Amino acid sequence: MEATLSSKNQVTLPKQVREYLNLKAGDQFKFFLQPDGAVVILPKTPVSRLKGILPKLDHVVTVEEMESALGKSATARYRR
């Protein structure tokens, strides 16, 4: 895919990119410059858009259970 920089330094993102990133008019996004010269574009996701993305649990999870799960995950990374 290609895009052209206008005389006003503006670019229209191709429709396929807008759909892939689920961008709508007025959405904001971030640019990340990579050491290899690549540029990564990611949408800034408002917190309100995150509502409902996690499944509801059938029980309440305690802080101790969360800390235990995080600890297991952290140590598992070093066991590989």
Does 52 fall in a domain?
A: yes
- Please give the pLDDT value at position 21: 81
Does 8 fall in a domain?
A: no
Q: What total of structural domains would you count in the chain?
A: 1
User: pLDDT for 20-44, tens place per residue?
Assistant: 888 888 888 899 999 999 999 888 8
- Please give the pLDDT value at position 78: 67
Cα gap 9→22, rounded to integer Å: 23
Does 9 fall in a domain?
A: no
Q: How confident is the model at residue 74 (pLDDT cuts 50, 70, 90)?
A: confident
User: pLDDT for 41-71, tens place per residue?
Assistant: 888 877 777 778 788 888 888 999 989 988 8
Domain with 61 in it? 15-79
Does 70 fall in a domain?
A: yes
Does 5 fall in a domain?
A: no
- Both tokens assigned to 66: 């969360």
Tell me the sheet residues that pair with 42. Answer: 30
Does 34 fall in a domain?
A: yes
**Angle of CA points 27, 31, 34, to nearest 5°:** 160
Does 2 fall in a domain?
A: no
Q: Is the model more confident about 1 or about 46?
A: 1
- Both tokens assigned to 50: 């995150």
